[in-house]
Amino acid sequence: MNNPPDTPCHALSRRAALCLFSLPGAFAACALSAPAAWSQTPATPRAPRIVSVNGAMTEIAYALDAGPQLAGTDTTSVFPPAALRTPKVGYMRQLSAEGLLSLQPDTVIGTTEAGPGVVMDQLRSAGVKVELVEADHSWSEVRRKVAAVGRATSRTAQATALQARLDAEWAGVQATVARHAGRKPRAIFILSHSASPQVAGRNTAAHAMLDYAGLVNAFTDGQASAFAGYRPMTAEALVSAAPELIITTTQGIEASGGLDKFWSRPGLALTPAYQRRALVALDALYLIGFGPRLPQAVAELHQAALKVAA
């Protein structure tokens, strides 16, 4: 079939004829003048698909503008609000390989608190990269989280910039806490997300937060054999600890049925904190998640400590 003179096929056939019948050296020039459609443009690499099973690391992903790369998150991932709209894979300590693999992630990120371990092994066997950051309730933990999310999302430059800003904020709040030369108020952290409230001892994120904010954990102060982890809250223990300040979560207040019902728990009315209604309730992720907002959370707790110590 003949093509009209002004079609690409006609133009192409003319160039081909020139190449065939011109001098040999002209062939390269003809090749260089070939239509752009002949050249192969390299495909843009696909951004890695990530499943985050740690609320703080999810928050970091959004801080790095990597939210669109999140194929799913766990139930501790509640901030920013966009995280609530991601597919959920359950609680970070009770994950299932089937649910995670159904989202086809390239990498699953979290802390060493994620599990069960057998699920992590199943993911690795399926070819999914698993990157778990050690959780030791320190500023180094936050730094490890930022670096890990930067690697997983291929946004290492942005992660480096974010870390520099966070390090400056952390140095500032540490200096503020250190300037306080007065006594350190006695405080306790109550975890009351269920019908059986618990109190925090050593080796917990809550204990570390009290220390960072210039508070003393009344359950461990001066006790060589102070308990680690969490234990059930009892009236006798509360009276003995005599806290001046109660720290809890907003979720705990809601689970208790409101502020009045929270204060009505056995033993609380006999504490110095009750006499002043000295209580700080903050969002759980913000307070004990050890994420990018840790400097602000410590600063807020420290302000509460100063009021009690006044």
The pTM is what? 0.83
Secondary structure of the chain as H, E, C letters: CCCCCCCHHHHHHHHHHHHHHCCCCHHHHHHHCCCHHHCCCCCCCCCCCEEECCHHHHHHHHHCCCHHHEEEECCCCCCCHHHHHCCECCCCCCCCHHHHHCCCCCEEEEECCCCCHHHHHHHHHCCCEEEEECCCCCHHHHHHHHHHHHHHCCCHHHHHHHHHHHHHHHHHHHHHHHCCCCCCCEEEEEECCCCCCEEECECCHHHHHHHHCCCEECCCCCCCCCCECEEECCHHHHHHHCCCEEEEEHHHHHHHCCHHHHHCCCCHHHCHHHHHCCEEEECHHHHHCCCCCHHHHHHHHHHHHHHHHC
Say what angle helices 156-178 and 55-63 make with each other, to 10 degrees.
110
25-38 as b/e: b if 16+ CB within 10 A: eeeeeeeeeeeeee
pLDDT for the residue 40? 61
**Confidence (pLDDT) at 308:** 81
CA distances from 19 to 9, 36, 39, 113, 171 (A): 15, 17, 18, 68, 70
In a domain, residue 11? The reply is no
273 lies in a domain? yes
Residue 5 resides in a domain: no
What is the structure's pLDDT at 181?
A: 83
Is there a single domain that holds both residue 132 and residue 223? no
Q: What is the pLDDT of residue 222?
A: 66
The Cα-based distances of 103 to 7, 59, 89 in angstroms read 47, 19, 9
* CA–CA dist 255, 124 (Å, integer): 37
How far apart CA 281 and CA 304 sit, in angstroms, is 11
pLDDT of residue 16: 39
Residues 204 and 300 in one domain: yes
For residue 272, tell me if it sits in a domain: yes
8 A C-beta contact, residue 259 and residue 240: no
Does some domain include residue 2? no
Q: Is residue 26 part of a domain?
A: no
Q: What is the pLDDT of residues 32-63, one digit of tens each?
A: 444 544 456 566 678 999 999 999 999 999 99
> What is the full per-residue pLDDT of the chain (310 aa) written as tens digits?
444 444 444 433 433 333 433 444 444 444 444 454 445 656 667 899 999 999 999 999 999 999 999 999 999 999 999 999 999 999 999 999 999 999 999 999 999 999 999 999 999 999 999 999 999 999 999 999 999 999 999 999 999 999 999 999 999 999 999 998 888 999 999 999 888 899 999 999 999 999 999 999 999 986 656 899 999 999 999 999 999 999 999 999 999 999 999 999 999 999 999 999 999 999 999 999 999 999 999 999 999 888 887 7
Same domain, 203 and 257: yes
Among 129, 144, 176, the domain boundary falls at 176
* 80 prior amide bond cis, ω within 30: yes
Residues 198 and 170 grouped into a single domain? no
Q: What tokens were used for 304?
A: 């509460």
Number of neighbouring beta carbons within 10 Å of residue 17: 11
Domain that holds residue 87: 50-176
Chosen domain end from 143, 176, 209? 176
Q: Based on the fold, state whether residues 170 and 199 are members of the same structural domain.
A: no
Provide the domain count of the chain.
Answer: 2
pLDDT at 309: 72
Instruction: Give the length of the chain.
Output: 310
Give the residue from 176, 199, 216 where a domain finishes. 176
Co-location of 131 and 186 in the same domain: no
Which amino acid, 102?
A: S
8 A C-beta contact, residue 139 and residue 160: no
Q: Is residue 197 part of a domain?
A: yes
133, 141 contact by CB (below 8 A) = yes
C-alpha span between 128 and 101 (Å, rounded): 8
Residue 188 lies in a domain: yes
243 and 171 within one domain = no
CATH of residue 281's domain is 3.40.50.1980
Same domain, 170 and 218: no
Q: What is the pLDDT of residue 42?
A: 60
Distance from C-alpha of 87 to C-alpha of 79, rounded to nearest angstrom: 14
Q: Are residues 170 and 195 in the same domain?
A: no
Q: Are residues 162 and 280 in the same domain?
A: no
Q: At what angle do helices 294-309 and 156-178 cross, to 10 degrees?
A: 10
Same domain, 90 and 155: yes
Alpha-carbon gap, residue 268 to 234, rounded angstroms: 9
Is residue 192 domain-shared with residue 301, that is, in the same domain?
Answer: yes
